[in-house]
Structure 1
């Protein structure tokens, strides 16, 4: 019986809060929805930029590792120097 009263109180409080929020809202609903949508788009763009930066950094590290491996396995000194230079370029980019 006690949990039913608590649940009823929570639902009543949520409904009262929603009604008061609509009555005292400073902006129109369309403006509020646009603002929420814009904020969501901004967060999504920031997340995409962070993900792209991470993948670019990871790609440079993989390429540097591949170049270092090729340099270690190179049959000639010139191939070794070329691959070491490539590895250094990738290390600087990441």
Structure 2
């Protein structure tokens, strides 16, 4: 859990606890107090749900960005590998040609 998520969770918990304590010490009737507690619980639930949805979207976006970055890096690596392989093949072909030339001299 990231620092921002913990901060948001702490703020939500503090708000919920403060609201419940404030409502419990208020001089209202029991039915009114229970209604306020239920309303605050619903608000807290909605807030947590929104935060979870927002966090899920952030994670999804981060994964998409990392995937695109990884695909780009892989393409770059494959391109570099292809060029290096071509260089190795060219070098080996030159050495093979040199060896064939030397072998012709010895065959005479």
TM-score (norm 1): 0.50
Q: Which has the higher contact order (CA 8 A, sep 6+)?
A: 1
TM-score (norm 2): 0.44
> Larger radius of gyration, structure 1 or 2?
2
